[in-house]
Structure 1
Amino acid sequence: MESGVSGGISVDVIVVGGGVIGLTTAVVLAERGARVRVWTREPVELTTSAVAGALWWPYRIEPEPLVGEWALQSLVVYEELAARPEETGVRMVDGVQGETRLDELGSWAARVPGLREARAEEFAGGGLWARLPLIDMSVHLPWLRNRFVELGGTVEEASVVDLSEVPASVVVNCTGLDSLDLVPDRSVRPVRGQLVVVENPGITTWLTSVDHSADTSTYFFPQPGGLILGGTAEENAWSMTPDPATAEAIIARCAAFRPEIAEARVLEHRVGLRPTRPAVRLEREVLRGGRALVHNYGHGGAGITVAWGCAREAADLVGARAA
């Protein structure tokens, strides 16, 4: 059992939301014996999760003490899935978190295997060297869906306007940014990320150089379909249209680290809106008639990083209702 979960849940559940949080939560619930359906407004290949880079690392997500544990649980699962990269989309890849020091991170960092200070020849500006999961979402999301279906679950395209009207004993809200209106939760906001995908000129390691107080960052991730370049972190920006000037600036920042990127052919432009709030919301509330609504949203830029840990906690909340 790849998620490492145990315990039985005998209850009908509808998970609303077909991104990485919704699908992972559905898999964990199905593995625990729940009868689960996923309702998604659009195919999983068109969700926000499909745009992600996607490197395992706690980025723009709170609260840090809980995030560290969720992330470490997820790391163990991804390390197992990396044994079958063609099937799962997960690979373990070396790289550098630039301008980052161990003493700046939470206690979780001490439990990341092999995380160490980067040597000068690895990154002149100082940083951390690590071998971390790098996830090809074009493969991983369909794998999650297939895994869920193999467990007896069903994925249905459906739009929801009122979570309390969803016909299930337990409803799990994994709607991300849509929780702004569906809950409604006015603390939810978008943080816009723009990416450029180029032909990989032979780069095999990833790199990040992120100023968490700025609305731009620099990173590149070698994926099977090309080298993904980033990025931006624009608060409360809703535009899904790639900006040409922003794309040029992304390429220039990445090329400052690896000059060969400047000549790489552009394959694609991507934009995604990170579903951010002051802290992840993972809690259960009671609906009319004693039914339960479990919330699992607000993961910002680290939904992939914490997906399995949060899914287990959400399943625990479902199980508490079902017991």
Structure 2
Amino acid sequence: MEQAGNDEVIVVGGGVVGLTTAVVLAEAGRRVRVWTREPAGRTTSAVAGALWWPYRIAPRALARTWALTSLAVYEELAERPEETGVRLVDGVLGGTSLDELGDWAARVPGLRAATADEYPGTALRARLPLIDMPVHLRLLQDRLLRAGGAIEERTVTDLAGVRAPVVVNCTGLGARSLVPDASVRPVRGQLVLVENPGVRDWIVATDPVAGTTAYVFPQPGRLVLGGTTDEDDWSLAPDPDAAAAIVGRCAALRPELAGARVLGHRVGLRPVRDRVRLERTERPDGSVLVHNYGHGGGGVTVAWGCAREAARLADPTAAR
């Protein structure tokens, strides 16, 4: 592969983690190029439901720190929702209590126990960032370009062939073959987009018996209904039976959704790992490789925190 300039950083991967990392690096004055196999609009990030919440992501303590860093950024971006795609929206998280959370929860705006009128069971009420990912990904691309960065569509088949003083690996599920790291695996998520009959708040509910999750996220011009967690399933084709089940579970939460006109279907493969890999390694030629992958369905939640840590690790003066 092409040799990069002596002071360049190449970020491999153009999803939300890769773009956010590239933005942090470029806005800090680094010369950054993003190498991505496909445009951001066709990545897994583009189809994410994108509610901020540190859920099923490890290591837990670090993930919460990364999440709170991201929360502060999203709160600022929410002041310009049309431009950034970020809004602060009220909603209910079913099946979770305050006792299950740590001290970090005090930082979450409006977080409290939900009332019986709000949810029939244990639940939390909060005002959280809800992100319109197509808009947000365009924002990240624009910020990167304004900071002097570049985005190139190219397929990387071997990380060793990416030659630069610093390479940041944000390839998500691609890390399974590129590192290679067999511990990265897909967890398939299917969504249904429907017309919004007037739903303004989000809701997430888990059935502990059936092991299913239902969520309703109001996005501009549509409702996003989910979802599925199909482990080790590589299929990107929407399953009609799964779609019908999603709509049924969501209509049980919000009866006004019964019969809502379907606008489309989306499928994404979450890059799940037992814990996020965020670390620096030295390559035989003296260059630096920073890994930043394995975020599962929490990439949006921790993106800015992980990006800042990755940028620190990418600093040539960082401790070895």
Q: CA deviation at 1:287?
A: 1.2
Distance 1:80 1:226 in 2: 24
Partner of 2:3: none
State whether structure 2 residue 253 is matched by structure 1 residue 257: yes
AA in 2 matched with 1:260: E
Partner of 1:193: 189
Distance 2:210 2:288 in 1: 39
Unaligned stretches of 5+ in structure 2?
1-5
Name the TM-score, length of structure 1 as normaliser: 0.94
Partner of 2:154: 158
Q: CA deviation at 1:210?
A: 2.7
Judge conservation of contact 1:274–1:300 (CA < 8 Å) in 2: yes
Name the TM-score, length of structure 2 as normaliser: 0.95
Distance 1:108 1:142 in 2: 30
Give identity over the alignment, percent: 68
Judge conservation of contact 1:242–1:269 (CA < 8 Å) in 2: yes
Judge conservation of contact 2:92–2:203 (CA < 8 Å) in 1: yes
Distance 1:16 1:22 in 2: 7
Q: CA deviation at 1:195?
A: 0.5
Judge conservation of contact 1:11–1:322 (CA < 8 Å) in 2: no
Moved over 4 A (4+): 211-215, 320-323
Which of 271, 285, 288 matches 2:281?
Answer: 285
Partner of 1:246: 242
Matches within 5 A, 1:147-226: 147-210=143-206, 216-226=212-222
Distance 1:22 1:57 in 2: 19
Judge conservation of contact 1:68–1:107 (CA < 8 Å) in 2: no
Q: CA deviation at 1:239?
A: 0.6
Q: CA deviation at 1:225?
A: 2.8
Distance 1:319 1:212 in 2: 45
Q: CA deviation at 1:211?
A: 5.2
Distance 1:242 1:30 in 2: 37
AA in 2 matched with 1:206: W
Partner of 2:79: 83
AA in 2 matched with 1:13: V
State whether structure 2 residue 101 is matched by structure 1 residue 114: no
Structure 1 residues 299 and 213: CA distance shift in structure 2, 3 A: farther
Q: CA deviation at 1:124?
A: 2.0
Q: CA deviation at 1:322?
A: 6.6
Describe the SS at the equivalent of 2:24: helix
Which of 114, 118, 128 matches 1:132?
Answer: 128
Distance 2:137 2:172 in 1: 16
State whether structure 2 residue 237 is matched by structure 1 residue 267: no
Unaligned stretches of 5+ in structure 1?
1-9
Judge conservation of contact 2:312–2:318 (CA < 8 Å) in 1: no
AA in 1 matched with 2:187: V
Equivalent pairs, count:
314
